[in-house]
Chains A and B, each alone.
Chain A
Amino acid sequence: MNTETLAAWSLLGVYSACAVYLMAFVAFLVDLARRSARTPAARTPATATVSSATVASAEGGSTAVLVNAPPAPPADQVGAKPSRSARVGVALTVVGLVVHTAAILLRGIAAERVPWANMFEFALTGTGVIVATFVVSLLWKDLRYLGVFITGLSVLLLALATRNLYVDVVPLPPALDSAWLVIHVLVAILATGFFALATGLSILQLLQQGREGGRLRKARLMRTMPASTVLETMSYRLNVVGFVLWTFTLVFGAIWAERAWGRYWGWDVKEVWTFVIWVVYAGYIHARATRGWRGTPSAVLSIVGFVTVLFNFVVVNVFFTGLHAYSGLVAPTSP
């Protein structure tokens, strides 16, 4: 198959993945609706009373035995029985991700290089990584309540990418023809995946705080979700991973810039925004360690951080001129 055919198949894959994500989005939405309809009394409160597991001594003290141990952590904060629609949502998301991954691979094969050399490809691969981060995180914690946010965001990004950012496969311009393209951009994409997930949790945290503070009393849906402090801690951990990855993005970018443009830092618009994002997340991490800045302020910073990430990707790439003019939408100048 030639480049055009492969690229066409890839695009078909993107549309299919988009459609499957949309179905997953609906399934997750149904799940949320069911959750709010469920009677909260059926659930045991999250602050379970401390029960002590007492093990009787079998041979009357001839061996070391546990007398009093902390309760085993609850198997699941949200409720042991996942709703059917949530399971359907996860299954659909996984199917979508498989199709999506195939589309990314086909694009890479068609171009004979990494599939993140222009904005369309960055959006394509970046969205895939966001969904993959979500799916993998399900092995860590039950974050299915984030499904609506993640699949919704993915449908939106993929639709925007195919509608507004699509470009045909073109060879790499010399300035991008470097091993650093693989490393620098891949790390940036991974960081974006973690930031996206953390942002979803921060939004939920704000809603949950509202409910806990008595303002959103009617948000029964939120009763099925973890306490705001739990959401905040999870969001923090993901953001810290994202921050470390973003630090690598910034440093690898600087090393590459030194190779390609002869200076490691030149306040090019993209460099400015990479720096701004890094500083905002550094601020977020400090906010978590500062009295009076936990809770709402740090959640807001987490969300602001992701807004700057999206701004950096969409607005800066399309509307600003700079050395990082690699959207492929405008004719690139010589190196």
Chain B
Amino acid sequence: MASFRPSDAISAEPEEDSRADGAPTLPKLGPVGFARFLWRQLTSMRTALVLLLLLALVAVPGSLIPQRTSNPNGVASWQRDDPELFRTLDSLGLFSLYSSPWFAAVYVLLFVSLVGCILPRAKHHIDAMRSRPPRTPARLSRLVAYTEASTPLDVETAVAVARDTLKKRRYRVERYGDSISAERGYLKETGNLIFHISLVGVLVFVGLGDLLGSIGQRVLIEGQPFVNVQADYDTFTPGAWIDPDTDLAPFSMRLDSFEDRYSFADNRWNPEKFTANMSIREPGGDWQPRVLEVNSPLDIGGTQVYLLGNGYALDVTVRDPEGREVFSQPVPFLALDNNLMSMGVVKVPDGLSEQIGMRGFFYPDPYARTDGTLGSFQPMITDNAIVTLLVYSGNIGLDDGSDSNVYSLKTANLTELAGRDDPLTLAVGETVDLPNGLGTIELNKVVRYVGLDIHRDPVQGLVLVFTLLAIAGLLAGVMVPRRRVWIKVLPAADGSRVEYAGLARGDDAALPAEVAEIVRINTEALERRMTT
């Protein structure tokens, strides 16, 4: 009995004092004894509690310091602003706190402590469910809601009635002498155990999901096909236990068109709805139209596709002075503000007399601000839409991979050919000359693109199952009261004396009311027995 709960749990029974002779015995701990001592410390309630609070505490810095997983731009700006501090914090793992060893140390210790606590408790609980309710205490008068009543019935009949009463109230009953011992609410402990075991399940499958899943991003421009292979992703993070060559679901998809809806309120354009009309093709099938919206991902053979971003892509063609095409493709521009004023980079590594890079700003509905710069009135594209281009020449970093980011252009070592004061400006369908007679650039058309997240997590359903189990267990654990009730019958001069009392196991404010109710029901039953 003494070992089923940590010794410092309030509901645990006091341990028997082994030092009956009163002499202080100092612990003599061999390696096994020491291990046992450590284990007892780790699985004590106090340790579990401290670890819980520690877990809350160590989770906090992750909200103050940007995390690589949730805020990579924030991490980059910390690195830029204070490289020294960044190195120190990074060596402590603070930018990927939740996968850092010391965060893991806290939750692993917590879960070891939890398992160490649960296993003996589960064993005890199973034993308790198999065994009989405990013996009736000698003196009920010291327990909760002690009640005495008298009845003219004889002892044997009164005991039988009491047994019936308690059984009908769904207690497990056992007769000891002329008393009935009853217990109910085993579901409370069952729920408690299920809750804690399910948390272990959640942790295990969250971890497995990391190992067995994959996450990737792709900017998909209208009309372009995407095939679900690693090479077709912009970024791809596979789990450690998967083989991207064989484990990715075979399908293709394509963005057919994109619709957005904005409304003007509170002095700005507010997005209301984004709809991507996609086509999906699975092996052996034809292209099937599917609608993808925010909050409504596509599920394609166990892989989920999410709509996380959108913008304009500019289809440009660059020609050399002889009119030969050296570059022709749509370039996605990233939104800079709510009205989709966007920025993009056009890099032309080959075909012209020198490498050129262009940084473009796109205005769906341009207007001149008072300071002379341009802005966009609204996110919807109009006939006035223009792009302005700053042109640079030199090593644009594609050959040696020093600047392979398609959205950025490092201009420090480049020569400016067209700057802020004299940018190239062109509208849809227009062609302008590049500086220095390098050639021409034409804006063919403007199309839409979507930013997609493509996820696969084969075990996330199991995470949900264990989460729901944990909730069910929690509800049972807090809502079901565990209680014992005794009815004892003693011979009296003119019949019997009936004693009632209860014992709460855990917080149970309703126990006195429950005993009173049993007294009422049993008294009625006794009276009914008298009249028959």
Contact = CB atoms under 8 A, between A and B. Distances in A.
A62 B147 CA distance: 19
B308 interface: yes
Contacts of B9: 289-291
Given A260-B295, A273-B63, 15 more contacts: A61-B495, A66-B149, A68-B147, A170-B265, A173-B272, A261-B308, A261-B453, A268-B70, A269-B63, A283-B53, A288-B10, A289-B45, A323-B70, A334-B309, A335-B294
B206 A63 contact: no
A290 B147 contact: no
Interface in A41-86: 57, 60-70, 73
A279 B55 contact: yes
Nearest to A168: B266
A174 B63 contact: no
A57 B8 CA distance: 48
A212 interface: no
Contacts of A266: 69-70
B165 interface: no
Given A173-B270, A290-B9, A282 B206 contact: no
A287 B49 contact: yes
A177 B512 contact: no
Nearest to B468: A251
Nearest to B495: A61
A248 B304 CA distance: 24
B228 interface: no
Interface of B: 8-11, 45-46, 48-49, 52-53, 55-56, 59-60, 62-63, 67, 69-71, 74, 97-98, 145-153, 206, 215, 263, 265-266, 268, 270-274, 293-297, 304, 306-311, 335, 337-338, 453, 455, 460, 463-464, 467, 470-471, 474-475, 478, 494-495, 497-498, 507, 509, 512, 516, 519, 523, 526-527, 530
A262 B309 CA distance: 12
A132 interface: no
A172 B310 CA distance: 17
A156 B149 CA distance: 56
A240 B55 CA distance: 20
19 contacts: A63-B530, A64-B530, A66-B147, A68-B146, A171-B270, A175-B295, A279-B53, A279-B55, A283-B56, A289-B9, A290-B8, A290-B10, A290-B45, A293-B49, A294-B10, A320-B63, A323-B70, A334-B271, A335-B271
B308 A279 contact: no
Contacts of B497: 67
A178 interface: yes
A284 B260 CA distance: 47
* Chain A: interface size category: 35 or more
Nearest to A181: B295
Nearest to A63: B527
Contacts of B71: 321-322
B139 to A, nearest CB: 14
A183 to B, nearest CB: 13
A261 B150 CA distance: 68
Contacts of B512: 70, 73
A236 interface: yes
A102 to B, nearest CB: 23
B147 A69 contact: yes
A329 B55 CA distance: 32
Given A169-B265, A240-B478, A280 B527 contact: no
Contacts of A279: 52-53, 55-56, 59
Q: Which 7 A-B pairs have the closest CB atoms?
A: A262-B306, A174-B294, A68-B148, A279-B56, A64-B151, A168-B266, A290-B45
